[in-house]
Amino acid sequence: MAYNPSFVDIEYAARTAILEAALKVASIFDYTRFKDDIDKASKVITYLKAIQNDDSLTFDEKTQIYQCIISTAGIFDFPVAPQLGSASVPDIILGGSGNTVIINQGSSLTQGSNTDIDVTTETVDTFATNLYQSVLWLYKVTSPSGAIRSGTISATWTGSLVEWAEASTLDLNGDTSGLTFDVTNNGTVIALRATVTSNNWQVYFTRIPNYIN
Partner 1 sequence: MALLPILTLAVNSDITTGIATDSTVYGGAEPARNSLGVFVVYRKINASGEATNIVTLPDNADPNLVTSWTFDYGDDGRYSGLYIAVPNYTVATYALNDCVHSSGVVYQSQSSGNVSTNLLDTNFWLPIASPALLVVAENVPANCTTANLQVILNRKTNRYVGDFALEASLDCDCSNIDTHNYFYTLQLYNEGMIIANSRARFADGEKLAVKAKKLYTTCLANGI
Question: Which chain residues interact with partner 1 by CB under 8 A?
Answer: 15-16, 18-19, 21-23, 25-26, 31-32, 35, 38-39, 41-42, 45, 114, 117-123, 126, 128-130, 133, 157-160, 184, 186-189, 191, 193, 213
Q: Which is nearer to partner 1, 48 or 208 (CB)?
A: 48
Specify whether the CB–CB gap between 142 and 151 falls below 8 A: no
3-class SS at 143?
coil
Instruction: Identify the burial level of 7 via C-beta atoms within 10 angstroms of its C-beta, where 0-12 means exposed, 13-18 middle and 19 or more buried.
Output: middle
Q: Which is nearer to partner 1, 100 or 195 (CB)?
A: 195
Specify whether the CB–CB gap between 143 and 179 falls below 8 A: yes
How many CA atoms within 13 Å lie on the side-chain side of 149? 19
Q: Which is nearer to partner 1, 100 or 110 (CB)?
A: 110
Cα separation, 8 vs 10, whole angstroms:
5
Q: Provide, rounded to whole angstroms, the least separation between the CB of residue 99 and partner 1.
A: 32
Q: Provide, rounded to whole angstroms, the least separation between the CB of residue 63 and partner 1.
A: 23
Q: Which is nearer to partner 1, 122 or 166 (CB)?
A: 122
Q: Provide, rounded to whole angstroms, the least separation between the CB of residue 87 and partner 1.
A: 27
Q: Which is nearer to partner 1, 16 or 71 (CB)?
A: 16
Nearest to 132, CA basis, from 212, 13, 186, 12: 212
Cα separation, 133 vs 167, whole angstroms:
20
Q: Provide, rounded to whole angstroms, the least separation between the CB of residue 51 and partner 1.
A: 14
Q: Provide, rounded to whole angstroms, the least separation between the CB of residue 19 and partner 1.
A: 4
